[in-house]
């Protein structure tokens, strides 16, 4: 049975609000939360950008059973891999062993904005390989001396170790990252637009236990006008230079120069509980996800969370 997670977007909501959303998500029956980790938002006028590990600490202290997962943090530039391991172990302890680590290869809006070179995919994949080796070894309790091309450690050890073996899931936008995940991680995270195309990335195999986590962007709105208002914090996500931009103001200007319909066409707009069920059903029945993250926004987030808990989660849980 798939576990249903609720997505907490640091790019839209301030951290104190996300903590309340997480508490409500636990109350209505979500199995876990999937929380973004950004230094910059996607637009300057409506965005937010809290520190994810602090938010996770507050959530860990004020919830009891939901799982917590980063979606995703980049252990390549702003954070040394050993620091990500330390932060993860701390959250795991504060939550009583409920943490899962989702990692990704990064985005210029977060990394280059702080003065780091943002290299092409090949180097980022090489960095991720080294980073995952360091994190895995630290999670296992080793004292790690590592002399890699990108990272070094000298007798690094977690003296506040995690309470359980933290699963590491790697975000993948294509087959190359998916193979990297299968070799060096415990699972794969895929953002789904077209379930049929996502099958090419997931490429199910039965060679070892492996966690498949999927998410899908949806907007709860009665019409396009309401959907556009709901997407104000996210409109820069669809700007042409979103992969290379370092300033949210740039993405904001680009997004606002585009036809509104062009941006709206890149999101799945829903207006009922049944449409939510239909949108997320393929992630369970076709992609065979172990974790499904509902990544959604609307003009009243609390009501959406309550609707999902009452009418959507029970139906998704029935699917095999």
Domain ranges within the chain, ordered by starting residue: 3-317
The catalytic residue among 26, 37, 107, 130 is 107
Above pLDDT 90, what percent of the chain? 93
pLDDT tens, 3-57? 999 999 999 999 999 999 999 999 999 999 999 999 999 999 999 999 999 999 9
Phi and psi torsions of 96, nearest 5°:
75, 30
Catalytic residue among 10, 21, 38, 136: 38
Instruction: Taking residues 282-297, report their average pLDDT.
Output: 96
Q: Residue 206 above 60 pLDDT?
A: no
Please compute the mean of the pLDDT values over residues 199-219 and round it to a whole number.
80
Q: What is the mean pLDDT of residues 201-220?
A: 82
Average pLDDT over the chain, rounded to an integer: 95
Which pLDDT does position 202 carry in this prediction?
A: 81
pLDDT digits (tens, 9 = 90+) for 226-245: 999 999 999 999 999 999 99
CA–CA distances in Å: residue 9 to residues 16, 36, 136, 269, 282: 12, 6, 27, 18, 23
Lowest mean pLDDT among 92-96, 166-170, 179-183: 179-183
The pLDDT of 154-159, averaged and rounded, is 98
Q: What is the pLDDT of residue 208?
A: 58
CA distance 21 to 305: 8
Q: What is the pLDDT of residue 201?
A: 79
107 noted as active-site residue: yes
Cβ neighbours of residue 106 under 8 Å, at least 6 residues apart? 74, 76, 77, 118, 124
Phi and psi for 256 in degrees, rounded to 5?
-75, -15
CATH number of 3-317: 3.20.20.30
Judge whether 38 counts as a catalytic residue: yes
**316: CB partners within 8 A, 6+ apart:** 2, 4, 277, 280, 281, 284, 292
Check residue 199 and give its pLDDT. Answer: 78
Q: Around Cβ 116, how many Cβ atoms within 10 Å? A: 14
Q: Rounded distance, CA 66 to CA 26, Å?
A: 6
What is the pLDDT, as a whole number, of residue 315? Answer: 98
In the block, tokens 């990064």 appear at 106
Higher pLDDT pick, 66 / 175: 66
Check residue 213 and give its pLDDT: 96
Q: pLDDT for 111-153, tens place per residue? A: 999 999 999 999 999 999 999 999 999 999 999 999 999 999 9
Q: Which residue has the higher pLDDT, 1 or 177?
A: 177
pTM over the 0.85 mark: yes
Please tell me the distance from the alpha carbon of residue 320 to that of residue 269, in angstroms, as a whole number: 25
Q: What is the pLDDT of residue 205?
A: 57
Q: Supply 121's token pair.
A: 């995919």
CA distance 264 to 224: 8
The total of other beta-carbon atoms located within 10 Å of residue 58's CB is 18
The percent of residues in the chain predicted with pLDDT above 70, rounded, is 98
Task: Return the pLDDT at 195.
Answer: 86
What Å distances lie between residue 274 and 87, 220, 280, CA to CA?
39, 12, 10
């Amino acid at each position: 049975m798939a576990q249903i997670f609720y997505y907490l977007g640091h790019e839209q909501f301030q951290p104190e609000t996300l903590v309340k959303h997480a508490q409500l998500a636990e109350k209505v029956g979500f199995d876990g939360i999937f929380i973004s980790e950004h230094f910059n938002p996607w637009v300057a006028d409506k965005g937010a950008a809290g520190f994810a590990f602090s938010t996770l600490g507050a959530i860990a202290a004020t919830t009891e059973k939901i799982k917590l997962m980063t979606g995703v943090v980049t252990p390549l530039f702003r954070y040394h891999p050993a620091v990500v391991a330390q932060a993860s172990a701390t959250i795991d302890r504060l939550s009583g062993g409920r943490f899962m680590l989702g990692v990704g290869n990064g985005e210029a809006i977060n990394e280059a904005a702080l003065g780091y070179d943002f290299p092409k995919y090949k180097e980022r994949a090489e960095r991720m390989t080294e980073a995952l080796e360091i994190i895995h070894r630290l999670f296992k309790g080793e004292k790690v001396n590592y002399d890699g091309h990108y990272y070094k450690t000298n007798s690094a050890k977690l003296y506040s170790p995690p309470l359980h073996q933290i699963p590491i899931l790697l975000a993948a936008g294509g087959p190359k990252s998916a193979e990297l995940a299968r070799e060096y991680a415990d699972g794969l995270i895929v953002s789904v637009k077209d379930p049929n195309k996502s099958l090419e990335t997931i490429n199910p195999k039965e060679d070892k236990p492996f966690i498949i986590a999927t998410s899908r962007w949806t907007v709860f709105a009665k019409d396009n006008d309401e959907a556009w208002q709901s997407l104000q914090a996210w409109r820069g996500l669809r700007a042409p230079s979103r992969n290379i931009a370092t300033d949210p103001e740039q993405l904001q200007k680009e997004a606002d120069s585009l036809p509104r319909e062009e941006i709206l066409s890149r999101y799945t707009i829903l207006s009922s509980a049944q449409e939510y069920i239909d949108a997320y059903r393929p992630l369970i029945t076709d992609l065979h996800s172990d974790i499904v993250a509902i990544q959604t926004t609307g003009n009243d987030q609390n009501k959406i969370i309550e609707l999902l808990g009452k009418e959507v989660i029970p139906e998704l849980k029935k699917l095999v």
